[in-house]
Structure 1
Amino acid sequence: MTFAACAAPSVAFINPGYSSEPFWVSYSHFMQAVADDLGMELEIHYAERDFNRLLALGRQVRDRQPDYLLFVNEIYAGPELLRIFEDSPVRLFNVHSTLTTSQRERTGNPRERYRNWIGSLIPNDEEAGYLMGKALAAMKPPGQVEMLAFGGVPQTPSAQLRNLGLLRALGEHPDIRLRQLVNGEWSRQRARDQARTLFERYPAVRLVWSANDEMALGAIEAVRERGLQPGRDVQFSAANNSAEVFQARLEGDIGALTSGHFTLGGWALLLVHDYHLGRDFAERIGVDALGKVFRLLDEEQVALLQRRLGAAPLQVDFRRYSRVLHPERVGYPLDLSPLLDVPTQAR
């Protein structure tokens, strides 16, 4: 079925994070920039990290019947959302955290049991964990070194995959001893409190791996309380794109920063836009797509992203990446390259 004669679609996004959470707010802002360029109607609802609220929002969206719903399998909510929308004309697209293998044994894959579930797009989370682990290994002093690691919410596939990436990196570096991997649950305060206890227990730790920026910043506070200097006495990794973590990377407190996954919802909108107007993304990337959005950022790239993300409106013309509007295009970027390229108006 094609929709070539239709206007751009209406889309609802259930954002699983807090409405005050820097990462998820930036995620929504990037989506809005893409929607504005493509003429799409976008409504964003924050679940405030509450499972019941997330499902209630899903029911509200089902009753309003926009053309599409974008959802995240946070706290394993994906199968229940698919069930809620099973008999709905709303088409569903899964972004950021896809359903797990065990969940798919019950739901099937996109376009199978749930015919209105048209696809998914997830980030290369395992590679993100691996890249941060390898970068920390490259910064360590000679000889045996001890590490602490802070993972996210354990019921989130993204957190699980980043942990697996770290363990793969450590498998290549037997001279790094992982003292403990704890669930910081993406929280600065929780990670700070955990780090205070863990540094008392393991005072020789010199590497700290964190699955996001908030946990890294919390652990840095705990290190400073001990009279140690981050970036010199203890090396840190982090993921995300907050203004604070960008500054910490530029000042050297964080030595390894990976980012890019905040773009994923925006790229999902681009895929939905083209699908709605008759160019099925599955022809090029399949129904289960992996966006290689994560990359390690050097200081120059961080400074560039800092400037570009701070601009309003975002100085990127997302229409140029649509295969409907530009039929000569072969595929989709699905990465950070449009934001790390020279500004559009300078072309």
Structure 2
Amino acid sequence: MLPFYNFVAPIMPRFCLPLLLLLVNWMPCGWASSVVFLNPGHADEPFWRTYSQFMQAAATDLGLQLEVVYAGRNKQRMLQQAHELRTRTRQPDYLLFTNEEYVGPELLRLFADSPSRLFALHSTLTADQQARTGASREKHANWIGSLVVNDQQAGALMAEGLLALHATQAPIEMLAFSGARNTPSATLREAGLQAVLQTHPKVQLRQLVYGEWNRQRAYEQALSLLQRYPQVSHVWSANDEMAFGVLQAARELGRQPGRDLHLTGLNNSTALFQAYRAGDIEVLVTGHFTLGAWALVMLHDHAKGLDFADYGGKDQVAKLFRQVSAAQSLRLEQRLSQPGQGIDFRRYSRQANPRLRAYRFSIDALLR
């Protein structure tokens, strides 16, 4: 069922629209917009679990009905879940999807004649894909927009932080552990790493491997690579799970993380925060786990007749990534353990705050 406002507003006289908007804002909870998120991760995966919990906190504040479906990092399972969703008698008002394994075009085709509004979250279609499918609100009119983070910035922040740890004129040997090969986030984080390396000619990237975001796989790869390249002193990892795999392998080989081996980590797990404060992980970048919640703010406003395209564009990039200090990591850990994360998401809504002129999403509120 499409949001009531979007059905009626186009055919209603202009002088009646303020009254209609008032009625929509005071609708009973039975009229709450429904949202389904096709989550590409595992339900017990720390990052995606926190991501969904943050979304649920936002949905509760905003009066949205949220359902999260986990694909377990399996493209075929995600497509099967999408097909099952498409056959439901009642389609969700909004469907959130990622372009994990570049599945976006298939989802757009599947829901082409669905009443659901589609919204790309976390990763959107690539430029090459959009050359064929059209951009949002073009060939697929019910694909209404996207919200992503700057993953290239994340890769660069980790690389810059890693190379700034120990100023030296001597050559540096590095290993890099990227995520899944067919994942836009991994590709963009790699691009950020490579951009930084181009400005550091004395840093030699000995090898980049795909750890598939997985601790065990990165552990097995690191056992081999750290022996093959015994002079490696810096390790860049595209997420925390792979960093922990490298950490385990390094210790088994007699290396000393924080002393003769320097590692990065990205995400927001309690284990990562603690490893960072212990000095085992020396560069910590985080912030993107809040992205889904901010998307729900935009969709809440859209359902109320306030199109987010008028407040920053139909396709937006949230500047969420930042390198945090040890004190900030402790604050984040404490805030994330609170019910609802201690944030009133209505404060960020255009519908609740008409004086807002653009969405300014950040993790500042979690660091206070």
- For the aligned pair, the TM-score class normalised by the smaller chain equals over 0.9
**Alignment-derived partner of residue 153 in structure 1:** 180
Q: 1:224 corresponds to which letter in structure 2?
A: R
Contact 1:8 1:276 in 2 (8 A): no
Aligned ranges for residues 314-329 of structure 1 at < 5 Å? 314-329=341-356
In the TM superposition, residue 77 of structure 1 has moved relative to its aligned partner by 1.0
Structure 1 CA distance for aligned equivalents of residues 60 and 37 of structure 2? 15
Which residue of 2 is the match for residue 226 of structure 1? 253
1:22 corresponds to which residue?
46
Task: Report the secondary structure of 1:224's partner residue.
Answer: helix
Worse overlay, 145-154 or 134-143: 134-143
Distance 1:151 1:52 in 2: 22
Counting aligned pairs with the same residue, the percent is: 52
How far did residue 319 of structure 1 move?
Answer: 0.6
Amino acid at match of 1:278: G
Instruction: Could you tell me which runs of 5 or more consecutive residues in structure 2 were left unpaired when the two chains were aligned.
Output: 1-5, 10-19, 25-30
In the alignment, which of 270, 276, 284 is matched to residue 257 of structure 1?
284
1:312-333 per-residue CA deviation (whole Å, 9 max, x = no partner) reads 2321111111010110122222
Alignment equivalent of 1:40, drawn from 61, 64, 86: 64
Structure 1 length normalisation: TM-score? 0.96
Amino acid in structure 2 at the alignment position of 1:85: F
Q: 8 Å contact 1:8–1:273 — kept in the other structure?
A: no
- C-alpha contact 1:132 1:258 (8 A) present in aligned 2: yes
Which whole-Å CA distance do the structure 2 matches of 1:60 and 1:337 have between them? 39
Q: Report the equivalent of 1:284.
A: 311
Query: Mind listing any 5+ residue stretches in structure 1 that lack a counterpart?
Result: 343-347
Task: Determine which of 58, 73, 81 is the counterpart of 2:107.
Answer: 81
Is structure 2 residue 128 aligned with structure 1 residue 102? yes
Does residue 182 of the first structure (1) align with residue 209 of the second (2)? Answer: yes
1:69 matched to 2:87? The reply is no
Deviations 1:259-290 (A, max 9, x none): 11111111111100001101111112111111
Q: Please give the alpha-carbon distance, in whole angstroms, between the structure 2 residues aligned to 1:65 and 1:301.
A: 41
Instruction: Give SS of 2:254's match.
Output: coil
Q: Return the letter of the residue paired with 1:100.
A: T
SS of structure 2 residue aligned to 1:115: coil
**Aligned twin of 1:204:** 231
Residue aligning to 1:31: 55
Contact 2:174 / 2:206 at 8 angstroms: preserved in 1? yes
State the match for 2:337 in structure 1. 310
Aligned amino acid, residue 131 of structure 1 = L
Classify the secondary structure of the residue corresponding to 2:340. Answer: coil
* Residue equivalent to 1:267: 294
Find the aligned partners of 1:316 and 1:181 in 2 and give their Cα distance. 39
The match for 2:197 is 170
Matched residue type, 2:338: A
Q: CA deviation digits over 1:118-170, x for unaligned, max 9?
A: 00011110000000000111013521110000000010000000000000111
- Counterpart of 2:68, as a letter, is I
Asked if 1:296 is matched to 2:320, the reply is no
Please list every run of at least 4 consecutive aligned residues from structure 1 whose deviation after the TM superposition is greater than 3 angstroms.
1-8
Structure 2 distance, partners of 1:301, 1:333, is 20
Give yes or no for the alignment of 1:123 onto 2:149.
yes
SS class of match (1:42)? strand
- Bigger radius of gyration, 1 or 2? 2
Q: Which amino acid aligns with 2:256?
A: Q
